[in-house]
């Protein structure tokens, strides 16, 4: 992390704090306000409230008292819309194109007598006000008040001209399970107000409101009587008219859908879009006329097109919303009406195409496209380290840039109120949605410097340790390092109370990590119950810090616990007082007690990682009692190295679609590459669940790398006995084996004193060269060291069959073979370590 790199706006601040240039407007001088915030006499409630907030912030940073007055805008800090303060020179920058692009546009202009903060709409004016404050050094990193950063500027001078509008028009980071409404906010506000303030201050808003949620069931409910009288309007499923889908080929059903949509827009003139998304789940109509219309996409989007035409005629500029999801993930055969807005979901797509393919196909049929993302889903990440996609900043940047390139106008990101693990990611993602080319490194640096002051170096390290893109191994030792980073940060910032308050929030998050860790590694049910109650209590007491997704825990975690521990009183519906609802703020003494317990429990386990050259592998053979074929099944891709000894074809067998339920997904694709990454062979395979033999000619003898993308439908690899083959697990990535992992052999180079590994899984035995048990790993998510007995180095060891989700060796090659006589090793060992020999010639029958 380069701390000498400051944002350009700091250079600008340095200028205004120093000598005031000629074109600079003075807003406050030695703690006295020079200008008022001026709004129009016809200002909206929204602009009045933004003006009051702006005056308040200017006052807090300068120590002056700013008034809000009405006026004609000839002088002052003029806040409002272009209609309220007409200005021909701003007409072009604030132009609204295609109904929506520009609804959030704003201009900031510094003139001799006035500072203009003008939006094309109220929303644009609000953005102008908060962009100005951001330029002055204000930050709202996370929604809790403690994460607000305000500079102290008694002499407040401005020299700023800026025009801006967002690239993605509708931007939303929102919470699955919603927000909680428990009382007890330290200032009397509530969680939703804090969330909305964060959004307002950071310009997260929508130029149009997306409305693409499931809607057909609402059409049925709104016409209950008609549907009761005409059961034939409902989908025909297995011979019965039932469920919540429509018989979409029926002309009367289409008429009802059009009428319902027009009624909706009449009743809700503030809405930009009416949804025509089908009901959730399957159960689409199987009647003959519906089937003739084409696949589910053709039917759903055909109806959307018809409704959109009627909407365009009666309500020009209004849109019809749909998802591309589940059975209608792929585009229909026909192009969509320009006012149909489709949101493609980044998960739960089905059918013949992968998400990547769908992302390229959709823009060909639809010019009004958005994306639905999953930054964090409680049931996927449980607020644990290293978090969901929302914590992976390089991945966020890559996908947001891609969506923008594909012309996306909306991005809806399902997330959680869990800023302890995702906060920095959400903050950066929001900036990227506005401007996909935003300088992410500068934003990170700005975050560390502004949020943590002199503790920035320690906090940058704290965040870097578990950054998902660095393939972290979330071990007890790594968490121990994080505790120590925070301890160091505390001492670096001991005279900065606002920084200390933020560190306390992160300490409380680490307390969650600690308790959750104990729970995940506990077998005794009574202790599990105590830990669950402790977690709920912690999350409840710290809920207004927003480090953990309290609402998800309140709804989901507690309900699950009620069942597991037979505590019906814990259910939300029950009137019983909840044991965790302890309305006592956490004291500093408690925070310290917890933190010292964590420091004690999580001890660093430093290891030195040896980097092996996996690009240059050579076949090797070790003595084996019996030559075994390789066979293993996984869900999701894994990487194997295979060898051609004399230039003969590489032979293996794959089975894809081993999970029958997922066989309707996109074909599996497999690739064989040489060490330089050049493709030697590739192909597709239908997910049929049958074994397929691959005989792959290669140009020259050597090692080749095989991967298989199974569309998450499960796959099995089989390599005949005697053929060199090793599995290369990926650091920090979870293995999803189908069934146990078979015994796997690994090589311990000569001179190794101890084998160090990270292991996450059920107990596993480590066997030496003579299959004797050298150790048993009984802990999970730990870094383990196993001493190497005399004469056991330079030989092949093995892991007994076991279930594990992560495995990483630090100082022996991460190459796992099914049989000692069919190995591949980095070439560096071939001369130096004398023991490996060349495998037998595969052309000859194996002895």
From 223-231, 288-296, 629-637, 817-825, span contacting Zn ion (CB under 5 A): 288-296
Distance of closest approach, residue 236 Cβ to Zn ion, in angstroms: 6
Q: Is 571 in the site for Zn ion (CB under 5 A)?
A: no
Tokens in use for 846? Answer: 């194996």
From 284-292, 386-394, 627-635, 679-687, span contacting Zn ion (CB under 5 A): 284-292
| Cβ–Cβ < 8 Å for 781, 522 | no
Q: Is 285 in the site for Zn ion (CB under 5 A)?
A: yes
Cα(726)–Cα(815) distance, integer angstroms: 6
From 2-10, 59-67, 127-135, 282-290, span contacting Zn ion (CB under 5 A): 282-290
Count CB-CB contacts under 10 A for residue 573: 7
Cα(825)–Cα(593) distance, integer angstroms: 49
**φ, ψ at 537 (rounded to 5°):** -65, -45
| Cβ–Cβ < 8 Å for 807, 729 | yes
Cα(107)–Cα(79) distance, integer angstroms: 10
Distance of closest approach, residue 742 Cβ to Zn ion, in angstroms: 50
From 107-115, 290-298, 453-461, 758-766, span contacting Zn ion (CB under 5 A): 290-298
Q: 215 to 274, contacts with Zn ion by CB under 5 A?
A: 247, 249
Distance of closest approach, residue 247 Cβ to Zn ion, in angstroms: 3
Cα(812)–Cα(796) distance, integer angstroms: 11
Distance of closest approach, residue 688 Cβ to Zn ion, in angstroms: 30
Q: How many CA atoms lie within 13 A of 295 on its CB side?
A: 13
Tokens in use for 297? Answer: 């996409």
Distance of closest approach, residue 299 Cβ to Zn ion, in angstroms: 9
Nearer to Zn ion, 107 or 257 (CB): 257
Cα(352)–Cα(17) distance, integer angstroms: 60
Cα(242)–Cα(574) distance, integer angstroms: 33
Nearer to Zn ion, 247 or 340 (CB): 247
Distance of closest approach, residue 220 Cβ to Zn ion, in angstroms: 14
Cα(765)–Cα(786) distance, integer angstroms: 11
Nearer to Zn ion, 304 or 413 (CB): 304
Nearer to Zn ion, 290 or 708 (CB): 290
Tokens in use for 338? Answer: 């320009």
Distance of closest approach, residue 262 Cβ to Zn ion, in angstroms: 23
| Cβ–Cβ < 8 Å for 722, 630 | no
Q: Is 39 in the site for Zn ion (CB under 5 A)?
A: no
How many of the chain's residues bind Zn ion (CB under 5 A)?
5
Q: Which of 84, 29, 76 is nearest to 54 (CA)?
A: 76
Distance of closest approach, residue 92 Cβ to Zn ion, in angstroms: 51
Distance of closest approach, residue 214 Cβ to Zn ion, in angstroms: 19
Distance of closest approach, residue 249 Cβ to Zn ion, in angstroms: 5
| Strands in 612-719 per DSSP E | 617-620, 630-634, 639-644, 650-656, 668-674, 679-685, 691-696, 702-709, 715-719
Q: Is 291 in the site for Zn ion (CB under 5 A)?
A: no
From 217-225, 285-293, 536-544, 664-672, span contacting Zn ion (CB under 5 A): 285-293
Cα(839)–Cα(827) distance, integer angstroms: 14
From 280-288, 353-361, 452-460, 582-590, span contacting Zn ion (CB under 5 A): 280-288
Nearer to Zn ion, 96 or 287 (CB): 287
Identify whether 386 is preceded by a cis peptide bond (ω within 30 of 0).
Answer: yes
Distance of closest approach, residue 732 Cβ to Zn ion, in angstroms: 49
Nearer to Zn ion, 285 or 536 (CB): 285
- The answer for residues whose C-beta is within 8 angstroms of residue 684's C-beta and 6 or more apart is 667, 668, 669, 670
Cα(408)–Cα(363) distance, integer angstroms: 9
Nearer to Zn ion, 250 or 514 (CB): 250
Nearer to Zn ion, 227 or 595 (CB): 227
Distance of closest approach, residue 148 Cβ to Zn ion, in angstroms: 56
Which one of 9, 26, 237, 287 is in contact with Zn ion (CB under 5 A)?
A: 287
DSSP string for 220-258: HHHTHHHHHH-GGGEEEETTEEEEEEE-TT-HHHHHHHH
Nearer to Zn ion, 291 or 694 (CB): 291
From 57-65, 277-285, 563-571, 626-634, span contacting Zn ion (CB under 5 A): 277-285
Residues in the chain: 847
Nearer to Zn ion, 249 or 275 (CB): 249
Distance of closest approach, residue 414 Cβ to Zn ion, in angstroms: 32
Distance of closest approach, residue 289 Cβ to Zn ion, in angstroms: 6
Q: Is 290 in the site for Zn ion (CB under 5 A)?
A: yes
Instruction: Return the exposure string of 514-542: e unless at least 16 CB atoms fall within 10 Å of the residue's CB, then b.
Output: bbbbbbeeeeeeeebbbbbbbbbbbbbbb
Cα(118)–Cα(126) distance, integer angstroms: 9
Q: Which of 163, 178, 26 is nearest to 92 (CA)?
A: 163
Cα(305)–Cα(276) distance, integer angstroms: 10
Distance of closest approach, residue 798 Cβ to Zn ion, in angstroms: 59
Nearer to Zn ion, 249 or 339 (CB): 249
Q: 480 to 509, contacts with Zn ion by CB under 5 A?
A: none
Sign of CA dihedral 503, 508, 512, 515: positive
Nearer to Zn ion, 287 or 443 (CB): 287
Nearer to Zn ion, 247 or 748 (CB): 247
Cα(205)–Cα(50) distance, integer angstroms: 15
| Cβ–Cβ < 8 Å for 426, 393 | no
Distance of closest approach, residue 237 Cβ to Zn ion, in angstroms: 10
Nearer to Zn ion, 191 or 236 (CB): 236
Nearer to Zn ion, 247 or 672 (CB): 247
Nearer to Zn ion, 233 or 372 (CB): 233
From 289-297, 352-360, 379-387, 419-427, span contacting Zn ion (CB under 5 A): 289-297
SS (H, E, C) 489-545: HHHHCCCCHHHHHHHHHHHHHHHHHHHHHHHHCCCCHHHHHHHHHHHHHHHHHCHHH
Distance of closest approach, residue 231 Cβ to Zn ion, in angstroms: 12
SS (H, E, C) 7-64: CHHHHHHHHHHCCCCCCCEEEEECCEECCCEEECCCCCHHHHHHHHHHHHHHHHHHCC
Nearer to Zn ion, 57 or 233 (CB): 233
Distance of closest approach, residue 323 Cβ to Zn ion, in angstroms: 21
Q: 766 to 785, contacts with Zn ion by CB under 5 A?
A: none
Tokens in use for 819? Answer: 């049989």
Nearer to Zn ion, 8 or 251 (CB): 251
By CB under 5 A, name the binding residues for Zn ion. 247, 249, 285, 287, 290
């Amino acid at each position: 992390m380069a701390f000498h790199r400051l944002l350009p706006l700091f250079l600008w601040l340095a200028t205004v704090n120093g000598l005031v240039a000629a074109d600079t407007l003075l807003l406050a001088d030695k703690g006295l306000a020079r200008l008022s915030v001026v709004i129009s006499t016809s200002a909206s409630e929204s602009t009045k409230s933004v003006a009051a907030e702006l005056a308040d912030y200017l006052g807090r940073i300068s120590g002056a008292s700013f008034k809000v007055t009405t006026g004609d805008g000839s002088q002052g800090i003029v806040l409002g819309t272009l209609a309220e303060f007409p200005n021909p020179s701003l007409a072009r920058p604030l132009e609204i194109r295609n109904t929506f692009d520009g609804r959030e546009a704003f201009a900031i202009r510094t003139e001799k007598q006035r500072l203009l903060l003008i939006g094309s709409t109220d929303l644009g004016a609000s953005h102008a006000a908060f962009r100005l404050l951001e330029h002055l050094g204000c930050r709202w990193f996370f929604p809790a008040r403690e994460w607000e950063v305000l500079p102290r500027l008694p002499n407040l001078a401005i020299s700023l001209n800026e025009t801006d509008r967002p690239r993605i028009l509708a931007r939303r980071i929102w919470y699955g399970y919603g927000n909680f409404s428990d009382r007890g906010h330290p200032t009397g506000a509530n969680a939703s107000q804090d969330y909305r303030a964060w959004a307002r201050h950071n310009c997260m808003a929508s130029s149009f409101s997306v409305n693409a949620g499931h809607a057909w069931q609402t059409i049925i409910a709104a016409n209950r009587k008609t549907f009761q009288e005409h059961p034939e309007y409902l989908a025909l499923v297995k011979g019965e008219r039932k469920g919540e889908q429509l018989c979409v080929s029926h002309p009367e059903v289409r008429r009802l859908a059009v009428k319902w949509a027009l009624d909706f827009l009449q009743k809700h003139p503030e809405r930009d879009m009416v949804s025509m998304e089908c009901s959730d789940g399957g159960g689409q109509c199987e009647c003959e006329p519906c089937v003739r219309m084409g696949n589910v996409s053709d039917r759903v989007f055909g109806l959307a097109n018809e409704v959109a035409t009627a909407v365009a005629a009666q309500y020009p500029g209004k849109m019809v919303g749909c998802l591309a999801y589940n059975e209608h993930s792929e585009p229909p055969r026909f192009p969509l009406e320009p006012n149909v807005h489709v949101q493609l979901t980044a998960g739960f797509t089905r059918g013949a195409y992968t998400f990547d393919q769908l992302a390229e196909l959709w823009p060909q049929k639809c010019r009004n496209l958005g994306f639905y993302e999953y930054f964090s889903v409680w049931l996927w990440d449980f607020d644990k380290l290293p978090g969901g996609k929302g914590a992976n900043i390089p991945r966020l940047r890559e996908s947001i840039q891609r969506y923008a390139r594909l012309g996306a106008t909306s991005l809806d990101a399902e997330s959680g109120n869990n800023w302890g693990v995702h906060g920095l990611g959400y903050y950066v993602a929001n900036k990227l949605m506005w401007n996909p080319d935003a300088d992410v490194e500068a934003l990170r640096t700005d975050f560390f410097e502004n949020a943590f002051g002199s503790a920035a170096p320690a906090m940058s390290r704290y965040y870097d340790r578990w950054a998902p893109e660095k393939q972290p191994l979330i071990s007890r030792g790594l968490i121990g390092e994080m505790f120590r980073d925070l301890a160091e940060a505390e001492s670096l910032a001991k005279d900065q109370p606002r920084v200390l308050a933020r560190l306390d929030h992160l300490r409380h998050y680490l307390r969650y990590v600690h308790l959750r860790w104990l729970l995940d590694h506990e077998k005794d049910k009574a202790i599990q119950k105590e830990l669950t109650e402790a977690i709920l209590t912690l999350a409840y007491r710290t809920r207004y810090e927003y480090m953990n997704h309290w609402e998800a825990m309140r709804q989901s975690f507690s309900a699950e616990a009620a069942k597991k521990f037979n505590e019906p009183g814990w259910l939300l519906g029950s009137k019983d007082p909840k044991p965790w609802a302890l309305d006592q703020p956490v004291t500093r003494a408690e925070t310290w007690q917890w933190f010292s317990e964590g420091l004690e429990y999580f001890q660093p386990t430093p290891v030195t990682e040896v980097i092996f050259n996996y690009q240059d592998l050579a076949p090797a053979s070790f003595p084996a009692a019996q030559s075994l074929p390789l066979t293993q099944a996984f869900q999701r891709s894994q990487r194997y190295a295979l060898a051609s000894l004399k230039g003969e074809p590489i032979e293996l067998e794959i089975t894809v679609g081993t999970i029958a339920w997922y066989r309707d997904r996109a074909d599996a694709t497999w690739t064989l590459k040489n060490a330089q990454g050049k493709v030697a062979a590739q192909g597709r395979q239908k997910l049929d669940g049958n074994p397929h033999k691959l005989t792959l000619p290669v140009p020259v003898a050597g090692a080749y790398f095989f991967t298989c993308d199974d569309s998450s439908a499960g796959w099995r690899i089989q390599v005949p006995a005697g053929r060199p083959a090793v599995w290369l697990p990926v650091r920090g990535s979870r293995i999803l084996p189908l069934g146990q992992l078979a015994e796997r052999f690994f090589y311990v180079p000569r001179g190794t004193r101890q084998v160090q590994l990270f292991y996450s899984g059920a107990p596993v035995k480590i066997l030496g060269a003579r299959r004797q048990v050298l150790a048993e790993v009984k802990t999970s998510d730990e870094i383990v060291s196993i001493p190497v007995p005399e004469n056991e180095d330079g030989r092949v060891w093995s892991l007994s069959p076991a279930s594990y989700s992560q495995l990483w060796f630090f100082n022996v090659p991460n190459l796992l073979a099914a049989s000692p006589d069919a190995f591949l090793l980095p070439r560096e060992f071939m001369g130096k370590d004398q023991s490996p020999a060349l495998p037998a010639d595969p052309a000859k029958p194996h002895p």
